[in-house]
């Protein structure tokens, strides 16, 4: 089934059901579909046709979702852009995807204008009141003029590319994962079935950026399939506004990334803990964590203080995204849960040999959610798929006898200390046990002889101080010598992306440069 067909079904069956709450206004499925139709007419008048790519660089908003489905109705392809990207990366994505236009907002106006200059993205649509150039349009004005406008209805197939989402580019230039209607539909359907969500009864808070696959499929698409009421939050900071929305709209499902749960568990003290537990989180039945490893200590602390089950899951952009997730009925803390329906996983060695139960190796995935391929990169497709059609994730993990998946770490983040493997998450979990630690990131720094040394970057919780010797004592008491960081650097903050995920590649690059400079004699 295509997502446009799914939306049509919802309008036919439950058109008056509240689909979204945005800026404290409710929007039914019928109202949402009317907006999508008007936007489709407007985009068609601007020259957007089936197969065209059109980028969206925007915070969470109704306009983002309306534009996405308008493009789908035309048979065009939405290109998700992380609004935190710099001008150079945005320009690369626009150029690589061949996008004909961009939806954006005042906050990103300057860099989008400059990024689009040398590309084919000649049509810019803004959602704010801003003086326009000749090739620019206002979103609300387009919608107003396009009510009832006719446009060619495109009959997409399930395997039609619906969106292109670019990977973070940790191993080089970003690669555009082509995801089909069927990728999104089946992953949302199977995730809902696996989690046991109740159709028509769930209220989901969307604080995660919807340009990211986690929020797009697990909240937006799943919200239409459910159906569920989705409360759209424009920004994760500051937290007070969305905490109030949780209470007002009686949120039942809360999805976030590990740093959010870490902060909540740290802040849940005294009266604040009671307010969080019995007011803001009082109707929440389950919390879901994804996009990064969830330290077991964070999970235990969060659950003990707020009394809500925290379910860790696992997925990737290329798998649309969910591969596995714990559930209320079947959960095993410390793992990322059992596989959702229709997903197959095998663990392979460095020699591509399939490994047995309990053995650590690279995770390979086969499912209806696996992408069609990378846009314009057939050589990359050959490298990332096994001969029998499994997607090679680059993650290290293992399966137990009951089918629960455990993630050890990213293969590229794995540290080799004198021939011994060290997974950063294991070291980070120990450091995070210190009550004054806010964030911890561990990286490997290459040294002579093909080995690496371990360095930890740590930030303190607000209003607290960290004594480095206390962390060292904690590490010595819980880790063998080869897993202990050679150096601990305390910082005021760590570099993060829009999902609040620490950018380890930046920390690694800085540490390597610092080490290089220390070894290079100063010029005289």
| Residue from 70, 66, 62, 96 nearest 81 by CA | 96
Burial of 14 (0-12, 13-18, 19+ CB in 10 A): middle
Give the pLDDT of residue 172: 58
Residue 309 in domain: yes
| Residue from 469, 447, 445, 446 nearest 458 by CA | 469
d(CA 212, CA 321): 10
Give the pLDDT of residue 199: 95
CATH number reported for the structural domain that contains residue 199 in this entry: 3.40.50.12780
Here the tokens at position 286 are 């389950």
Is residue 287 located within the same domain as residue 396? Answer: yes
Question: Where in the sequence is the domain holding 135, given as residue range(s)?
Answer: 28-156
d(CA 357, CA 179): 31
Please give the helix or strand (H or E) that residue 381 lies within, else none: helix 378-384
* End position of a domain, from candidates 156, 171, 197: 156
Residue 171 in domain: no
| Residue from 376, 379, 393, 212 nearest 319 by CA | 393
Is residue 361 located within the same domain as residue 508? Answer: no
Here the tokens at position 352 are 């591509």
**E strand segments, 367-476:** 373-374, 391-399, 405-410, 415-417, 420-422, 437-446, 452-460
| Residues 6+ away with beta carbon under 8 Å from 522 | none
d(CA 289, CA 293): 9
Please say whether the beta carbons of 24 and 34 come within 8 A.
Answer: no
Strands 101-104 and 53-56: parallel
Burial of 148 (0-12, 13-18, 19+ CB in 10 A): exposed
Residue 21 in domain: no
> Can you tell me whether residue 100 is helix, strand or coil?
coil
Residue 333 φ/ψ region, left for φ over 0, alpha for ψ in the -120 to 50 degree band, beta for the rest: beta
Burial of 278 (0-12, 13-18, 19+ CB in 10 A): exposed
Is residue 186 located within the same domain as residue 218? Answer: yes
Residue found under tokens 């008491």: 477
Give the pLDDT of residue 292: 81
Is residue 473 located within the same domain as residue 458? Answer: yes
The b/e string for 152-165 (b: 16+ C-beta within 10 A; e otherwise) is eebebebebbbbbb
Is residue 372 located within the same domain as residue 470? Answer: no
Here the tokens at position 143 are 């919608």
pLDDT tens-digit series, residues 465-492: 999 999 999 999 988 888 999 999 999 9
Residue 3 in domain: no
Is residue 359 located within the same domain as residue 451? Answer: no
| Residue from 406, 196, 399 nearest 296 by CA | 406
Residue 247 in domain: yes
CATH number reported for the structural domain that contains residue 491 in this entry: 3.30.300.30
Residue 23 in domain: no
**E strand segments, 281-327:** 286-289, 310-315, 322-325
Is residue 253 located within the same domain as residue 354? Answer: yes
| Residue from 73, 43, 36, 55 nearest 211 by CA | 55
Is residue 194 located within the same domain as residue 93? Answer: no
d(CA 488, CA 469): 10
How many residues are given for the chain?
524
Q: Which residues pair with 318 in a beta bridge?
A: none
Cα four-point dihedral sign 440, 501, 284, 328: negative
CATH number reported for the structural domain that contains residue 90 in this entry: 3.40.50.980
Is residue 126 located within the same domain as residue 187? Answer: no
DSSP state of 188: H
* End position of a domain, from candidates 383, 411, 439: 411
Is residue 214 located within the same domain as residue 300? Answer: yes
d(CA 288, CA 20): 20
* End position of a domain, from candidates 411, 435, 466: 411
Is residue 459 located within the same domain as residue 352? Answer: no
Q: Mind listing the pLDDT tens digit of every residue in the chain (524 residues)?
A: 999 999 999 999 999 999 999 998 999 999 999 999 999 999 999 999 999 999 999 999 999 999 999 999 999 999 999 998 888 889 999 999 999 999 999 999 999 999 998 898 999 999 988 777 888 999 999 999 888 778 888 888 999 999 999 986 544 578 999 999 999 999 999 999 999 999 999 999 999 999 999 999 999 999 999 999 999 999 998 999 999 999 999 999 999 988 899 889 988 989 999 999 999 999 999 999 998 888 888 899 999 999 999 999 999 999 999 999 999 999 999 999 999 999 999 999 988 899 999 999 999 999 999 999 999 998 888 889 999 999 999 999 999 999 999 998 777 778 888 777 788 988 999 999 999 999 999 999 988 767 789 999 999 998 899 999 999 999 999 888 889 999 999 999 999 887 778 888 889 989 988 888 876 544 33
In angstroms, how far apart are the furthest CA atoms of the chain? 79
Here the tokens at position 269 are 């003290």
Is residue 463 located within the same domain as residue 395? Answer: no
Residue 165 in domain: no
Instruction: Give the chain's domain count.
Output: 3
Residue 433 in domain: yes
Q: Which residues pair with 5 in a beta bridge?
A: none
How far is the CA of 402 from the CAs of 10, 139, 208, 268, 312, in angstroms? 37, 51, 31, 34, 17
**E strand segments, 236-318:** 253-256, 286-289, 310-315
| Residue from 225, 104, 117, 92 nearest 169 by CA | 92
Please give the helix or strand (H or E) that residue 102 lies within, else none: strand 101-104
Please say whether the beta carbons of 104 and 128 come within 8 A.
Answer: no
């Amino acid at each position: 089934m295509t997502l446009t067909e799914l939306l049509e079904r919802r309008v036919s069956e439950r058109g008056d059901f509240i689909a979204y709450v945005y800026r404290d206004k409710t929007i039914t499925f019928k109202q949402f579909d009317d907006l999508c139709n008007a936007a489709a007419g407007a985009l068609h008048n601007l020259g957007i046709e089936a197969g065209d790519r059109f980028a969206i660089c925007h915070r969470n908003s109704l306009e983002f979702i309306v534009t996405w489905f308008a493009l789908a109705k035309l048979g065009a392809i939405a290109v998700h852009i992380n609004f935190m990207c710099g001008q150079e990366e945005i320009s690369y994505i626009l150029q690589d995807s061949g996008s004909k236009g961009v939806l954006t907002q005042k906050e990103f106006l300057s860099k989008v204008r400059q990024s689009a200059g040398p590309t084919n993205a000649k049509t810019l649509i803004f959602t704010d009141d801003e003086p326009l150039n000749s090739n620019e349009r206002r979103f609300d004005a387009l919608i107003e003029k396009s009510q009832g406008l006719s446009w060619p209805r495109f009959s997409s197939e399930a395997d039609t590319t619906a969106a292109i989402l670019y990977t973070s580019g940790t191993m080089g230039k970003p690669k555009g994962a082509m995801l089909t209607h069927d990728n999104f539909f089946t992953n949302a359907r199977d995730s809902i079935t696996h989690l046991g969500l109740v159709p028509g009864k769930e209220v989901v808070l969307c604080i995660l950026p919807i340009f990211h696959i986690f929020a797009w499929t697990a909240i937006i698409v799943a919200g239409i399939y459910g159906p569920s009421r989705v409360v759209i939050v424009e920004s994760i900071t500051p937290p007070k506004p969305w905490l109030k929305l949780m209470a007002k709209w009686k949120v039942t499902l809360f999805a976030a990334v590990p740093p959010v749960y870490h902060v909540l568990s740290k802040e849940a003290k005294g009266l604040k803990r009671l307010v969080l537990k019995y007011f803001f989180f009082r109707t929440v039945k389950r919390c879901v964590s994804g996009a990064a490893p969830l330290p077991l200590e964070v999970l235990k602390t969060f659950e003990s203080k707020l009394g809500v089950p925290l379910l860790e899951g696992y997925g990737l952009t290329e798998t649309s995204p969910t591969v596995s997730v714990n559930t209320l009925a079947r959960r095993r803390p410390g793992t990322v849960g059992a596989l959702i329906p229709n997903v197959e996983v095998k663990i392979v060695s460095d020699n591509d040999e399939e490994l047995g139960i309990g053995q650590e190796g690279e995770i390979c995935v086969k499912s209806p959610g696996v992408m069609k391929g990378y846009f314009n990169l057939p050589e990359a497709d050959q490298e990332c798929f096994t001969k029998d059609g499994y997607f090679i994730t680059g993650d290290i993990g293992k399966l137990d006898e009951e089918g629960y998946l455990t993630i050890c770490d990213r293969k590229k983040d794995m540290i080799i200390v004198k021939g011994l493997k060290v997974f950063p998450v294991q070291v980070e979990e120990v450091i995070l046990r210190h009550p004054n630690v806010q964030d911890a990131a561990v990286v490997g720094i290459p040294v002579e002889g093909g080995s690496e040394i371990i360095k930890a970057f740590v930030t303190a919780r607000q209003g607290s101080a960290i004594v480095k010797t206390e962390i060292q004592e904690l590490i010595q008491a819980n880790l063998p010598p080869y897993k202990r960081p050679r150096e601990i650097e305390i910082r005021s903050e760590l570099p993060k992306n829009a999902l609040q995920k620490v950018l380890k590649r930046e920390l690694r690059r800085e540490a390597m440069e610092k080490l290089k400079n220390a070894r290079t004699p100063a010029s005289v």
